[in-house]
């Protein structure tokens, strides 16, 4: 038996050199660890502190800003669990609650696209499971470099197959997401994954290790050398190209094991056999042991030699740092241990008693009778460093904002312009991706891609359901992080509302560059302030989220990319409003005001490679009014306007069911078609007057009528040059639907 660096040894050899810097710890952080322990940390303790105090786990740079979500967002009696828990939990009624969260797996997905994306899905699903919920759906938010960059196909194929491979095999429908291509994500692709789960409120779980004498059970996969130091190495430092050696072993996901883990955990919950539970994600046992015991305010004793290993040669600090997937940590009363292990056995899942809750407040971990860790768990989980990092507005921002897209040369041939835009990588049909995902499994998917929001039936008797949408526009946020974050919130809110749902909660994933760059930190602070203010104004709480820093190569950061997820509730999903024109003869109406807003638009980007000016104006109270109207109005279809403006919304609406349209543009045809003004929705109705009666002072413009097999655009009045055109649906479909297959097929 090899000997480890024990607490005794640490006391005897206080001056031993330790590689804290290589583990990402600052000198002063290392000193604080020595103070806390009153000695040098053991190798295992050093590993644990370096992980728990890493940016990824400790939120040391973001904490001071994120607290606004708690302070500002409206107190809300639906919220049963919020920030700090594995995922936020929101009550739908007195019995049923849902939990949802979006999380990033950006850096691992660049190293190994398939496994990185796959384990991203697996990780977020375990967060949902840990709350006591049955996961019922996933979504994925993807950002890639330019379509013609040589490395982009590797990432697109690997990441999409990874998201699909894991989610499909787990039996969770994929009900939506985002796909964006922008050179700023070259070398820093963003892979965010969202999962939602449902639970009877009585089954709500927490991660508190309470009850002296209760057992600590490790469930699921064996522990291997997966991603040793992954969290700290990959997610908490700028990723250096070619730093192969510092790369941790990539985690490989096993969705089959995760499926068994889900079924066995749910059976254990329903049998009322668990006191506390925590998923093992990045940071593995280190995080699970310290967070559960810290939450319980008690001590814990763990025996590492009991942990089932894939490789017998693993040392204690490796066992503690391993990021092996598909594992959960359960706190179980002694009398229930056998029952828990029996359920594990039934499902073919390993279950191992690795320790117990103890008196006092020390986390003591031994390995073959050698004490390798003896520390206060709170010092790992809660008392990590907190930084108020310097903020500075990016030097180029004033110039950037002055360079408005409204002044760019405009096209004369709007027909060609529309065909070019709807075929561009960010606006084109995403079926080539979404067809690789199962949207049917579980049989409750009411709406999924390409609809504005995913809609899931929760209760087959009452038809209670939820709607989910996520949005985030890095270009808007680059131009104005405060307004950009509000715009992301507004769009997700709108996407949920067009289905007829009532938005009730928010989650977010904040993807940014290095917090050590004051300009990035300023963008972050502004975006958080914007989102928090926005949620306060809209009256919906942020229930949880995730921060991903260091998305940059060298000194070049990605566009700040806050992805905002909005959850809505539908009392009766059979009444949801779908997108797309349904049949001939319906009246097409545009709700909301169209302003001359082209800065940051898809048009400016595709046509001129231009990014400058101020993003569209956002009016959150207006969005609420709009949403309220959409809920009461009698609509045949509804589709929100966002990237690509009316041109894009019309294209998606006519192609959805192959029902054409003839529309007459009220103002400047170019602006009408390509402006990205927020707060607008395209609807079809049988009775315009009935609609008028419910929209109040929301601007209402009758555009035309559905029908035919072409998109026909007319513009009466003077100055109409080439603004009258007709595009057969076949030609429009050809342009809109062929792009991704052509690029990556």
Partner 1 sequence: MARVVVDVMLKPEILDPQGQAVANALPRLGVTEVSSVRIGKRIELEFVGEPDLDKAREIADKLLANTVIESFTISVADDKGQVEK
Partner 2 sequence: MKIGVVTFPGSLDDGDARRAARLAGAEAVQLWHADADLKGVDAVVLPGGFSYGDYLRCGAIARFSPVMEKIIDAAKGGLPVLGICNGFQVLCEAHLLPGALLRNSHLHFRNRDQKLRVENTSTAWTSGYTEGQEIVIPVKNGEGCYQADEHTLDALEAEGRVVVRYVEGNPNGSQRDIAGIRNEAGNVVGLMPHPEHATEALTGPFGGGVDGLVMFTSVLASLGVKA
Ligand X SMILES: Nc1ncnc2c1ncn2[C@@H]1O[C@H](COP(=O)(O)OP(=O)(O)O)[C@@H](O)[C@H]1O
Do residues 161 and 169 make contact, with C-beta atoms less than 8 angstroms apart? no
Structure tokens at 507: 């989650």
Residue listed under structure tokens 């009766």 = 572
Under rule CB under 6 A, residue 299 binds ligand X: no
Residue listed under structure tokens 């949920």 = 496
Q: Toward partner 1, which CB reaches closer, 231 or 606?
A: 231
Could you tell me the CA-to-CA distances from 84 to 66, 87, 376, 471, 542 in Å, in that order?
11, 8, 19, 23, 12
Q: Toward Mg ion, which CB reaches closer, 452 or 526?
A: 452
Residues within window 322-341 making contact with partner 1, judged by CB under 8 A: 324-325
Under rule CB under 8 A, residue 599 binds partner 1: no
Neighbours of 247 (CB within 10 A): 18
* Torsion of Cα atoms, 388 then 394 then 397 then 398, to 10°: 90
Name the minimum Å distance from CB 452 to Mg ion: 4
Q: Which residues are catalytic?
A: 56, 105
Could you write out the DSSP letters of every residue in 638-701? Answer: EEE--TTHHHHHHHHHHHHHT--EEEE--S-HHHHHH---SS-EEEEES-HHHHHHHHTTS-EE
Residues within window 255-274 making contact with partner 1, judged by CB under 8 A: 256-257
Under rule CB under 8 A, residue 526 binds partner 2: no
Neighbours of 481 (CB within 10 A): 28
Q: CA 285, 287, 289 angle in degrees (round to 5)?
A: 60
Sign, CA dihedral 684-685-689-693, equals negative
Q: Which stretch binds partner 2 (CB under 8 A): 98-106, 160-168, 307-315, 584-592?
A: 160-168
Name the minimum Å distance from CB 618 to Mg ion: 15
Under rule CB under 8 A, residue 743 binds partner 1: no
Q: Which stretch binds partner 1 (CB under 8 A): 195-203, 244-252, 570-578, 679-687?
A: 244-252
Name the minimum Å distance from CB 396 to partner 1: 36
Strands (E), 3-87: 79-81
Partner in contact with 452, chosen from Mg ion, partner 2, partner 1, none, beta carbon below 5 to 8 Å by kind: Mg ion
Do residues 673 and 418 make contact, with C-beta atoms less than 8 angstroms apart? yes
Under rule CB under 6 A, residue 385 binds ligand X: no
Residues within window 104-143 making contact with ligand X, judged by CB under 6 A: 140, 142
Partner in contact with 214, chosen from Mg ion, ligand X, partner 1, none, beta carbon below 5 to 8 Å by kind: none
DSSP conformational letter for 111: H
Residues within window 243-272 making contact with partner 2, judged by CB under 8 A: 254-257, 259-260
Q: Which stretch binds Mg ion (CB under 5 A): 22-30, 511-519, 633-641, 651-659?
A: 633-641
CA 609 – CA 310 distance, rounded (Å):
51
DSSP conformational letter for 558: P
Measured in whole angstroms, how far is the alpha carbon of residue 316 from the centre of its chain? Answer: 33
Of the candidates 445, 512, 431, 447, which has an alpha carbon nearest to the alpha carbon of residue 478?
512
Q: Toward Mg ion, which CB reaches closer, 115 or 449?
A: 449
Of the candidates 412, 413, 414, 418, which has an alpha carbon nearest to the alpha carbon of residue 652?
418
Bond from prior residue into 489 cis (ω within 30 degrees of 0): no
Do residues 541 and 168 make contact, with C-beta atoms less than 8 angstroms apart? no
x/- mask, ligand X, residues 637-666, rule CB under 6 A, reads ---x-xx-----------------------
Partner in contact with 347, chosen from partner 2, partner 1, Mg ion, none, beta carbon below 5 to 8 Å by kind: partner 2
Q: Toward partner 2, which CB reaches closer, 6 or 444?
A: 444
Do residues 296 and 210 make contact, with C-beta atoms less than 8 angstroms apart? yes
Under rule CB under 6 A, residue 73 binds ligand X: no
Under rule CB under 5 A, residue 452 binds Mg ion: yes
Q: Toward partner 1, which CB reaches closer, 241 or 369?
A: 241
Structure tokens at 655: 């192609």
CA 351 – CA 261 distance, rounded (Å):
10
Give the side-chain half-sphere CA count within 13 A for 206.
13
Q: Toward partner 2, which CB reaches closer, 438 or 491?
A: 438
Do residues 694 and 632 make contact, with C-beta atoms less than 8 angstroms apart? yes
Under rule CB under 8 A, residue 115 binds partner 1: yes
Under rule CB under 8 A, residue 112 binds partner 1: yes
Instruction: Choose which of 80, 111, 146, 700 interacts with partner 1 (CB under 8 A).
Output: 111
Of the candidates 476, 565, 575, which has an alpha carbon nearest to the alpha carbon of residue 526?
476
Q: Toward ligand X, which CB reaches closer, 141 or 238?
A: 141
Instruction: Choose which of 9, 96, 146, 250 interacts with partner 1 (CB under 8 A).
Output: 250
Partner in contact with 433, chosen from partner 1, ligand X, Mg ion, none, beta carbon below 5 to 8 Å by kind: ligand X
Q: Which stretch binds partner 1 (CB under 8 A): 88-96, 254-262, 595-603, 666-674?
A: 254-262
Do residues 148 and 111 make contact, with C-beta atoms less than 8 angstroms apart? no
Kindly state the number of chain residues that form the binding site for partner 2, as judged by CB under 8 A.
33
Of the candidates 166, 214, 159, which has an alpha carbon nearest to the alpha carbon of residue 188?
159
Q: Toward partner 1, which CB reaches closer, 95 or 240?
A: 240
Name the minimum Å distance from CB 150 to partner 1: 10
Length of the chain equals 745
Q: Toward ligand X, which CB reaches closer, 139 or 319?
A: 139
Under rule CB under 8 A, residue 652 binds partner 2: no
Structure tokens at 275: 């006191």
Q: CA 407, 410, 415 angle in degrees (round to 5)?
A: 155
List Cβ neighbours of 246 (8 Å cut-off, separation of 6 or more). Answer: 233, 240
x/- mask, ligand X, residues 422-451, rule CB under 6 A, reads --------x--xx--------------xxx
CA 368 – CA 379 distance, rounded (Å):
25
x/- mask, ligand X, residues 157-176, rule CB under 6 A, reads -----------------x-x
Instruction: Choose which of 311, 572, 596, 716 interacts with partner 1 (CB under 8 A).
Output: 311
Name the minimum Å distance from CB 482 to Mg ion: 22
x/- mask, partner 2, residues 317-356, rule CB under 8 A, reads ------------------------------xx--------
List Cβ neighbours of 396 (8 Å cut-off, separation of 6 or more). Answer: none
Residue listed under structure tokens 């792009």 = 739
Under rule CB under 8 A, residue 69 binds partner 2: no
Partner in contact with 438, chosen from ligand X, partner 2, partner 1, none, beta carbon below 5 to 8 Å by kind: partner 2
Of the candidates 234, 217, 239, which has an alpha carbon nearest to the alpha carbon of residue 292?
217
Q: Toward ligand X, which CB reaches closer, 43 or 651?
A: 651
Name the minimum Å distance from CB 114 to partner 2: 13
Do residues 542 and 98 make contact, with C-beta atoms less than 8 angstroms apart? no
Q: Which stretch binds partner 1 (CB under 8 A): 7-15, 250-258, 453-461, 505-513?
A: 250-258
Under rule CB under 6 A, residue 177 binds ligand X: yes
Q: Which stretch binds partner 1 (CB under 8 A): 109-117, 569-577, 582-590, 645-653?
A: 109-117
Under rule CB under 8 A, residue 249 binds partner 1: yes
Do residues 237 and 106 make contact, with C-beta atoms less than 8 angstroms apart? no
Neighbours of 362 (CB within 10 A): 17
Under rule CB under 5 A, residue 640 binds Mg ion: yes
Under rule CB under 6 A, residue 676 binds ligand X: no
Measured in whole angstroms, how far is the alpha carbon of residue 257 from the centre of its chain? Answer: 23
Contacts with ligand X, residue ranges (CB under 6 A) = 140, 142, 174, 176-179, 430, 433-434, 449-452, 471, 495, 640, 642-643
Contacts with Mg ion, residue ranges (CB under 5 A) = 452, 495, 640
Contacts with partner 1, residue ranges (CB under 8 A) = 111-112, 115, 221, 224-226, 244, 247, 249-252, 254, 256-257, 310-311, 324-325, 348
Contacts with partner 2, residue ranges (CB under 8 A) = 161, 164-165, 168-171, 254-257, 259-260, 347-348, 434-446, 457, 573-574, 657, 745
């Amino acid at each position: 038996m090899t000997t480890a660096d024990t607490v005794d040894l640490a006391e005897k050899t206080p001056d031993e050199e330790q590689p804290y810097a290589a583990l990402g710890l600052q000198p002063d952080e290392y000193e604080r660890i020595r103070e806390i322990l009153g000695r040098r940390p053991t190798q295992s303790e050093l590993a644990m502190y370096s992980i728990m105090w890493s940016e990824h786990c400790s939120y040391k740079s973001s904490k001071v800003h994120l607290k606004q979500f708690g302070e500002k967002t409206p107190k809300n009696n639906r919220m049963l669990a919020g920030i700090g828990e594995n995922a936020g939990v929101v009550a739908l009624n007195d019995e049923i609650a849902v939990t949802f969260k979006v999380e990033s797996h950006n850096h691992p997905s660049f190293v190994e696209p398939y496994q990185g994306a796959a384990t991203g899905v697996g990780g977020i699903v375990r967060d949902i499971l840990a709350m006591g919920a049955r996961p019922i759906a996933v979504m994925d938010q993807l950002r890639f470099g330019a379509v013609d960059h040589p490395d982009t196909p590797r990432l697109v194929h690997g990441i999409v197959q990874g998201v699909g491979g894991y989610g499909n095999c787990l039996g969770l429908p994929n009900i939506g997401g985002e796909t964006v291509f922008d050179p700023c994500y070259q070398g820093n692709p963003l892979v965010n994954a969202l999962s939602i789960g449902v639970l009877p409120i009585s089954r709500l779980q927490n991660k508190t290790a309470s009850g002296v004498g209760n057992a600590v059970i490790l469930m699921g996969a064996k522990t291997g050398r997966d991603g040793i130091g992954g969290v700290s190495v990959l997610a908490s430092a700028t990723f250096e190209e070619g730093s192969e050696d510092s790369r941790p072993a990539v985690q490989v996901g096993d969705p089959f094991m995760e499926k068994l883990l889900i079924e066995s955990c749910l059976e254990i919950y329903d049998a009322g056999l668990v006191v506390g539970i925590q998923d093992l994600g990045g940071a593995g046992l280190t995080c699970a042991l310290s967070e559960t015991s810290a939450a319980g305010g008690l001590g814990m004793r763990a025996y590492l030699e009991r942990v089932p290993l894939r490789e017998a040669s693993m040392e204690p600090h490796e066992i503690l740092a391993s990021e092996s997937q598909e594992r959960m940590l359960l706190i179980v009363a002694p009398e229930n241990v056998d029952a828990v292990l029996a359920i594990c056995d039934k499902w073919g899942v390993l279950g191992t008693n690795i320790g117990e809750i103890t008196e006092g407040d020390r986390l003591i971990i031994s390995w073959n009778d050698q004490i390798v860790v003896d520390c206060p768990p709170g010092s790992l989980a809660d008392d990590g460093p907190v930084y108020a990092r310097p903020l500075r507005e990016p030097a180029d921002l004033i110039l950037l904002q002055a360079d408005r897209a409204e002044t760019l040369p405009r096209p004369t041939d709007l027909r060609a312009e529309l065909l070019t835009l709807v075929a561009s990588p960010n606006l084109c049909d995403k079926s080539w991706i979404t067809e690789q995902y199962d949207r049917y499994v579980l049989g409750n998917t009411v709406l999924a891609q390409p609809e504005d929001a995913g809609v899931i039936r929760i209760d087959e008797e009452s038809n209670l359901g939820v709607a989910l949408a996520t949005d985030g526009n890095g270009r808007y946020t680059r131009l104005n992080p405060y307004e950009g974050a509000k715009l992301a919130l507004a769009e997700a809110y709108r996407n949920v509302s067009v289905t007829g749902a009532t938005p009730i909660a928010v989650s977010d994933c904040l993807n940014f560059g290095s917090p050590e760059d004051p300009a990035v930190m300023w963008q972050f602070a502004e975006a958080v302030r914007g989102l928090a203010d926005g949620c306060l104004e809209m009256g919906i709480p942020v229930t949880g989220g995730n921060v991903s820093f260091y998305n940059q190569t060298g000194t070049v950061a990605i566009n700040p990319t806050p992805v905002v997820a909005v959850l809505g509730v539908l009392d009766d999903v059979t009444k949801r409003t779908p997108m797309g024109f349904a049949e001939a003869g319906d009246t097409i109406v545009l709700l909301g005001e169209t302003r001359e807003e082209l800065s940051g638009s898809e048009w400016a980007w595709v046509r001129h490679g231009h990014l400058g000016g101020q993003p569209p104006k956002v009016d959150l109270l207006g969005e609420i009014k709009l949403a309220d109207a959409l809920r009461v109005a009698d609509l045949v279809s509804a589709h929100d306007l966002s990237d690509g403006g009316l041109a894009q919304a019309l294209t998606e609406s006519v192609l959805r069911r192959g029902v054409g349209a003839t529309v007459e543009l009220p103002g400047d045809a170019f602006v009408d078609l390509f402006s990205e003004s927020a707060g607008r929705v395209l609807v079809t109705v049988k009775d315009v007057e009935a609609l008028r009666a419910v929209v109040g002072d929301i601007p209402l413009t009758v555009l035309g009528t559905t029908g035919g097999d072409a998109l026909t655009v007319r513009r009466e009045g003077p100055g109409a040059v080439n603004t009258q055109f007709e595009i057969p649906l076949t030609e429009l479909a050809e342009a809109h639907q062929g792009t991704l297959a052509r690029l990556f097929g």
